[in-house]
Structure 1
Amino acid sequence: MRVLCIADGSEQRNGLPYDGLSKAALGGSVSITMSGPEGIVETVRRSHFDIVVIQQSVPDMKLVRHIRKSRVPTPVMILVRQSTPHAVAELLSIGADDCVPASVDPIELLARLQAIVRRVSGHDSRTLHIGRMTVGVDRREVHIDSKLVPLTRREYDLLELLALRKTQVLSKETVLDSLYAGESEPYGKVIDVMICKIRKKMRNFGVDEPFTTLWGIGYRLNEKAFAPLGARNHAAEALGDRSAKESCLPVMPGINIMTSSTILDLT
Structure 2
Amino acid sequence: MKILLAEDDVRLRKNISYILKKEFYHVVEVDNGQHALDNAIAEKYDLLILDWMMPYLSGIEVCRQLRNDGFNGGILMLTAKDDTADVIQGLDTGADDYVIKPFKMDELLARIRATLRRKEKIIEKIIQVEQLQLCIDSRTVLRDHIEVELTKNEFLLLEYLFINKGQVLTREQICTHIWGYDFDVSNNSLDALVRLVRKKIDTNPEKSYIQNIRGIGYKLRNHCVS
What is the TM-score with the length of structure 1 in the denominator?
A: 0.49
Deviation at 1:136, TM superposition (A): 2.2
Aligned-partner Cα distance in 2 for 1:158–1:112 = 27
Correspondence for 2:28: 51
Correspondence for 2:52: 80
Letter in 1 for 2:76: V
Correspondence for 2:160: 161
Deviation at 1:203, TM superposition (A): 2.9
**1:89 aligned residue (64, 69, 90):** 64
Aligned-partner Cα distance in 2 for 1:174–1:163 = 14
Aligned-partner Cα distance in 1 for 2:147–2:201 = 11
Aligned-partner Cα distance in 2 for 1:112–1:128 = 24
Larger Rg: 1
Letter in 2 for 1:29: K
Correspondence for 1:252: none
Is the contact made by 1:162 and 1:220 (CA closer than 8 Å) also made in structure 2?
yes
Is the contact made by 1:168 and 1:220 (CA closer than 8 Å) also made in structure 2?
yes
Do the aligned partners of residues 184 and 141 (structure 1) sit closer, same or farther apart at CA in structure 2, a change above 3 Å counting? same
Do the aligned partners of residues 100 and 186 (structure 1) sit closer, same or farther apart at CA in structure 2, a change above 3 Å counting? same
Aligned-partner Cα distance in 1 for 2:35–2:139 = 37
Q: Which moved more, 1:166-175 or 1:216-225?
A: 216-225
The alignment yields a C-alpha RMSD, in angstroms, of: 4.5
- Does 1:144 find its partner at 2:137? no
Deviation at 1:173, TM superposition (A): 0.8
Secondary structure of the residue aligned to 2:219 is strand
Secondary structure of the residue aligned to 2:187 is coil
Aligned-partner Cα distance in 2 for 1:167–1:112 = 32
Q: Greater helix share, 1 or 2? A: 2
Do the aligned partners of residues 52 and 146 (structure 1) sit closer, same or farther apart at CA in structure 2, a change above 3 Å counting? same
Do the aligned partners of residues 141 and 65 (structure 1) sit closer, same or farther apart at CA in structure 2, a change above 3 Å counting? closer
- Does 1:106 find its partner at 2:81? no
Letter in 2 for 1:90: Q
Aligned-partner Cα distance in 2 for 1:143–1:135 = 6
What is the TM-score with the length of structure 2 in the denominator?
A: 0.56
For these two proteins, the number of residue pairs brought into alignment is: 178
Correspondence for 2:119: none
For residues 132-157 of structure 1, the C-alpha deviation after alignment (integer angstroms, 9 at most, x for no partner) is 21112233221111122233322121
Correspondence for 1:176: 175
Q: What are the residue-to-residue correspondences of 1:6-17 with 2, within 5 Å?
A: 6-7=7-8, 16=12
